[in-house]
Copies of this chain bind each other. A is one copy, B any other.
Amino acid sequence: MTDTPHRRGADRTEAIMRTTLELGQEIGYAKLSIEAVAARAGASKQTIYRRWASKAALLLDSLLSPNEPGLDYPDTGDIMADLRAQIHSAVDLLAEPPFGPLFRALIGEAQHDPQIAAALNERFIAPQADKTVARLRTAREQGQLSPDFDLDLAMAILSGPLYFQLLITQEPLTHAYVDQILDALFAGMGPR
């Protein structure tokens, strides 16, 4: 009932992360500053520095913490359909605002900040990849894939082109494109 006292701990943490996302979506990663987050959140810079080591670390937390429970992917028995659904929803998250641009910026930051690269992998990339690999493994165990099917390689061939399009050519990422890749992967494009 006290009138806006100094909230503490988790309270402040959440408020700061919320503000970070807001600001990040408004002005973009490049112009985002800890200074501005502190000002808008009514927090002192010290309070932010006490919790996060850098702008990127703050943003990473801000992006992931609401979602961290993560999406569960289906296992309908149809490996192709399940994979398609899985990747479609990953693409939807990565390619669309509000998260898409900030995610891309974070991957950008990972190119000169090994800590961010590691955290990003541990907390987002790897879990995501693990789900794909797990679904593939089930399929292999059920005899839907050959016994020597390379799970990691398949995952890389499915993910790589998506990130290539997302980060390098920066053209729109469509479900149709995902389907093309899935088909090509399984059908092969071999010489006659």
State the CA gap A168–B111 with chains docked (Å).
9
Copies in the complex: 4
* A185 and B188 contact, CB distance less than 8 A: yes
Q: Would B168 and A125 count as touching, CB distance under 8 A?
A: yes
Output the nearest chain B residue to A170 by Cβ-Cβ distance. Answer: B117
> Is there an interface contact between B188 and A143, defined as CB atoms closer than 8 Å?
no
Whether B113 pairs with A80 at a CB distance below 8 angstroms is: no
Q: Of B30, B109, B159, B188, which is within 8 A of A189 by CB? A: B188
Query: Are A180 and B150 in contact (CB-based, < 8 A)?
Result: yes
Contact with B along A137-171 (1 / 0, CB 8 A): 00100011110011001101101111111011110
B107 touches A167 (CB 8 A): yes
A52-69 vs B, CB cutoff 8 Å, 1 = contact: the mask equals 000000000000000000
A156 CA / B180 CA spacing, docked (Å): 11
Instruction: Determine the chain B residues whose CB is within 8 A of the CB of A159 once the complex forms.
Output: 160-161, 164, 168
A168 to B164, CA, bound (A): 11
* Most interface-central of A29, A79, A186, A189 (chain B CB within 10 A): A189
Known: A143-B192, A188-B189. A156 touches B167 (CB 8 A): no
Which residue of B143, B153, B168, B170 contacts A181 across the interface (Cβ within 8 Å)?
A: B153
Partner of A163, one of B121, B139, B163: B163
A and B contact pairs by CB, cutoff 8 A, 11 listed: A28-B112, A104-B112, A108-B110, A108-B111, A150-B189, A153-B184, A153-B189, A154-B184, A156-B164, A159-B164, A164-B164
| 10 A-B pairs with the lowest CB-CB distances in the bound complex, closest first | A188-B188, A160-B160, A160-B161, A108-B111, A108-B108, A186-B190, A160-B164, A156-B161, A104-B111, A30-B112
